Amino acid sequence: MRALIAGAGRLGTQIAQVLAAARNDVTLVDVDEDRAAELEGRLPVRLLTGDACELGFLEVAGALTADLVVAATGEDEDNLVISLLAKRQFTVPRVAARVNDAENTWLFDQSWGVDTAVPAATPLISLIEEATGASDTVALLRLSKAGVDVIETAITPESGAVGRTLAGIRLPAGAVIATVIRDGQPTVPAPEMRLQPGDELLVVSHAATEQEIHAAFQ
C-alpha cells in the first residue's frame, strides 16, 4: 500500500512509523523544514518539506499513485483542503482527516473528500484502523493488505521488562517492535533502549498472537 501522510506531528509520525513497519510505502510531508530535518534518518519513510494544500506539491509527493492519504495537520482548514484535493484531483481511494476542533466535525464528510473523519482525541490504533478501512480486526488492528497485525502493549511498574533493553527482550518469531511511545512521544526502538514504566509499544507481528506479545513484556 502507498500511503501519503500530511503533517509530521505526533499522530502523523506515529502513523508513518506503524505503516512503514508493516512494509507499506510511506511518504510523510510537513510544511516545517525544521521538523522534517529533526525526523530525517529516524523514520523508514520518504520525508518531504512543502505545503500539502498546494496541488503541485501533492502531485510531487505521490498523490497520483497513493492508496491512502491521511490529513493529520493541526489545522482543520488545511486538512479539509488536503482531503478535497486528494479525492477530487487525484481520486485517492481512501482519505482520512483529523478533526482538531469538534465544532468542525460536520464539515468532514464526502463533500470535502473525507471518507473517514477522526477526532484528535481518538487513539492512534483507531485512527489507523479507520484510515485504512480495515474490517478484519485481530488484536487491535489487522492491516489486511500487508498481512500483519499491529499489537499495542504497555509497560507497567510490575512488568518484568522494566529496566531491560529491547535487545534483551525475546519476541516471538515474526514480531518486530515498530515504535516505543515514551512521555507521549514516539521514539526509534534502538536495541540499547531500556524500557521504563509507562512506555507503550507498538509491535508488528506476522504470526504471533496478542497473548504471546504481552507475555514477552510481562
pLDDT digits (tens, 9 = 90+) for 65-104: 999 999 999 999 999 999 999 999 999 998 989 999 989 9
Cell of 197: 514504566
CATH class of domain segment(s) 147-217: alpha beta
CA distance 182 to 189: 11
Distances (CA, A) of 10 to 17, 78, 183: 11, 17, 11
Output phi, psi for 151, to 5 deg: -115, 135
**How far is the C-alpha of 6 from the C-alpha of 81, rounded, in Å?**
11
Distance of alpha carbon 31 from the chain centroid: 18
Domains of the chain by residue range: 2-132, 147-217
Contacts of 24 (CB under 8 A, 6+ apart): 1, 2, 3, 143, 145, 146
Q: Tens of pLDDT along 31-60?
A: 999 988 888 887 889 999 999 999 999 999
50: left (phi over 0), alpha (psi -120 to 50) or beta: left
Residue 9 has a pLDDT of 87
Dihedral through CA 8, CA 12, CA 14, CA 19, nearest 10? Answer: -120
What fold is seen in the domain 2-132?
Rossmann fold (3.40.50)
